[in-house]
Amino acid sequence: MIRRVAVLPQPPLLIPELAAGAADECAELREACLEAARRLTSASPDWVVIGAAPGAPAVPDHASGSFRGFGVDLEVSLSRVTAPETELPLPALVAGWLRDQGGASSVRVHLVDPATPSDQCEQVAREVGDHPAVLILGDGSSRHGPRSPGGEDDRAEGFDAGIRDALAKADTGALAALDPALAAELGAGGRAPWQVLAGLAADGDWTAEVLYSAAPFGVGYHVAVWERA
């Protein structure tokens, strides 16, 4: 049975070594993510992680990888077991870093393609099953403001306000109802993982807390923790 869920974004800027001059600007976001990770570990030292990556590649258990492709040769591992380095997608790298920072023993990463239809996200939830601690990784719209990486879109603010409200209320219905086409237009890479969460948590009675919700670099970042009531 799922006891606790943490919902986090996955920007490389979370990692101080990668943030460089933006490290201070990311401090509040980073601390919220680390607090959520610590709470997840208090539910279980072994996490299941849901993230999105094109093609949904399989991620081996106990794998190790590096942020070398993002400019810093910082190694991370999905468990405390030493394993040869392999090429890992961003969600797995971030999960490995969070595992270490949050004091967890292991993370098992399940990836979905960002374009996965809503009904297939529900199917993924059934395949993943129940685990005490679940980490959901995904960013909101990348189209906030004139300097946003995706180009400004006036709909981004309302979209991410809706995500914040759904996370604050543990509203699985609102997450399940997200429009994949709109999310894609707004560059919201977290849509599919959030809809997997909707399937995983649909039958639960949850208390929820949003630890962070903002778009400091033109991208919506949300940090929330759900606990089974």
What would the mean pLDDT of 66-90 be, rounded to a whole number? Answer: 93
Give me the pLDDT at residue 114, please: 97
List % helix, strand, coil for the chain (3-state, nearest 5): 40, 20, 40
pLDDT tops 80 at residue 23: no
pLDDT in tens, 164-179: 999 999 999 999 999 9
Phi, psi for 10 (deg, rounded to 5): -135, 35
> How would residue 24 be classed by pLDDT, with cut points 50, 70 and 90?
confident
Rounded CA gap, 100 and 123, in Å?
30
What would the mean pLDDT of 121-133 be, rounded to a whole number? Answer: 94
Produce one character per residue of 33-60: b if its CB has 16 or more CB atoms within 10 Å, e if not: bbbbbebbbebbbbbbbbbbbeebeebe
Give me the pLDDT at residue 196, please: 98
Give me the pLDDT at residue 82, please: 79
pLDDT tops 80 at residue 145: yes
pLDDT tops 90 at residue 49: yes
> How would residue 22 be classed by pLDDT, with cut points 50, 70 and 90?
confident
What would the mean pLDDT of 67-71 be, rounded to a whole number? Answer: 93
pLDDT tops 90 at residue 19: no
Q: Across the chain, which distance is largest between two alpha carbons, in Å?
A: 47
Give me the pLDDT at residue 38, please: 98
Distances in Å between the Cα of 197 and the Cα atoms of 18, 51, 112, 134, 175 are 28, 10, 12, 9, 8
Give me the pLDDT at residue 147, please: 84
What would the mean pLDDT of 57-86 be, rounded to a whole number? Answer: 94
> How would residue 20 be classed by pLDDT, with cut points 50, 70 and 90?
confident
Q: How many residues does the chain have?
A: 229
pLDDT > 70 in the chain, percent: 100
Full-prediction pTM beyond 0.85? yes
Give me the pLDDT at residue 84, please: 87
pLDDT > 90 in the chain, percent: 90
